[in-house]
Amino acid sequence: MFIKNTWYVAGFEKEFGESFISRRILDLPLVLYRTSDGRYVAMDDCCPHRLLPLSKGKRVGDEMQCGYHGMCFSADGECTHVPGQTNIPSAARVATYPIEARHGFVWIWMGEADLADSALIPDVHWHNSPEWKSSQGYHHIEANYTLLNDNLLDLSHETYVHSRTIGNDEEESIAAYAAKTTVEHDCLVRAHREMPNIEAPPFFALVIGRPCRINRWQSAIHLVPSINLTVVGVHPVEEERADARIGHVLHLLTPESPGSTHYFWAFVRNYRLDDEELTEGIRKASAATFDEDKQILECQQKQMERLNSKVPQVAIKLDEAPIRARRLLEQRLEHEARNPRHVMAPPPLVPQHSFAILEEV
């Protein structure tokens, strides 16, 4: 059901403070924290003694103490203390998982631990680069992560779902501008669309600073199983493409359970970097946009459960990129089922400069 040999986002770096985080990932309850010397820790949220979640206990220094009988476990998952005795039973240990920080996120590897190569962490460096500015947030979505992948690979839905934020209305319907879909390395799908001389939807009027006609483009980039990047470019029609406002919108999805997803997102821009009002405006507008998606996705999930059905039931032209991504995911799941040590190295999401991909297509 889930690809295991891959890096998922466990949280934003800024979430990791003096306490701990209790979070279910790939349907496994985990305790996450950062030690005083800066190491990140992910361990099963379960005491091996009487199975109480360790998150019901407390963090003591760099260890977790069970809230039932006081047994303590180090960042390596080893039991260090059993009240009332000096010997430590050899089975008294908790499973831990490779976890590390990169690009402002903390990434976790739930597969074979010795295969966890940090070089395989997807490159999303824009998120904490001084040349870009990030507006970020988190949504908890009561829907399977593949429904979010579908959503992010078919941006024609903006006309209907996001008419108050990023969508053009039906007179300039996004679906009317064909998307060109390509597949790379059996694990990456791109769907690119150009929308010349259209009205700036409210969100883009905000980033440009006024209502106007714009040239707009968008590249939906998907890395199996659940990393998504939308490269969005806009400029007023009277300006040059080279001066476009570029946004790299990260949608980093981590399955919580078969029916729910952690949605870590960030809108990262290359313009007006010091404009804090704009940073907050984009954060609010992005959150409102993803609230709109959440409504749709959670309805879909309920319908699938009610009907015991998969999607899509009917495929239309707009489904090309989502369907290609679903096929790649199925292939990858099959590979991993046959070979639990199967690993794929991700290609770069954006090959060189942002504009390189835009000129290619």
Minimum Å gap between C-beta 130 and Fe ion is 29
Query: Is the preceding omega at residue 312 within 30 degrees of 0, hence cis?
Result: yes
Identity of the residue, 102 or 162, whose beta carbon is nearer to Fe ion in the bound complex: 162
Pick out residues in 286-345 that bind Fe ion (CB under 5 A): 293
- Count CB atoms within 10 A of the CB of residue 10: 27
Q: Shortest CA distance to 310 belongs to which of 323, 294, 295? A: 323
Categorise residue 186: left if φ over 0, alpha if ψ from -120 to 50, beta otherwise.
left
How far is Cα 2 from Cα 185, in angstroms, rounded to an integer? Answer: 20
CB of residue 158 vs Fe ion: minimum separation in angstroms? 6
- CA dist 130 and 39 (Å) reads 24
Distance separating alpha carbons of residues 70 and 245, to the nearest angstrom:
55
Q: Based on DSSP, count helices (H) and strands (E) in the chain, helices before strands.
A: 6, 17
Smallest distance, Fe ion to C-beta of residue 289, A: 6
| Three-class DSSP category at 146 | helix
Q: How many CA within 13 A on the CB side of residue 138?
A: 12
Q: State how far the Cα of 16 lies from the Cα of 86, in Å rounded to an integer.
A: 32
Q: What span, in angstroms and rounded, lies between the C-alpha atoms of 100 and 109?
A: 9
Residue 290 is inside which H or E element, if any? Answer: helix 276-307
- φ, ψ for residue 258 (rounded to 5)? -60, -25
Could you give the CA distance from residue 5 to residue 224 in angstroms, rounded to a whole number?
Answer: 11
Q: Please state the closest distance from residue 14 (CB atom) to Fe ion, in A.
A: 25
Q: How far apart are CA 227 and CA 173, in angstroms?
A: 26
Number of residues that bind Fe ion (CB under 5 A): 1
Provide the minimum distance between the beta carbon of 166 and Fe ion in the complex, in angstroms, as a whole number: 8
| Distance in Å, CB of 243 to Fe ion, minimum | 27
Distance CA 315, CA 53 (A): 44
Give whichever of 66 and 321 is closer to Fe ion, judged by the CB atom. 321
- Give the total residue count for the chain: 361
Q: Which is nearer to Fe ion, 21 or 206 (CB)?
A: 206
Which residue is at the shortest CB distance from Fe ion? 293
Residue 193 Cβ vs Fe ion, minimum distance, rounded to whole Å: 14
Kindly state the smallest distance separating residue 304's Cβ from Fe ion, in Å.
18
Distance of closest approach, residue 293 Cβ to Fe ion, in angstroms: 4
- Interface with Fe ion (CB under 5 A): 293
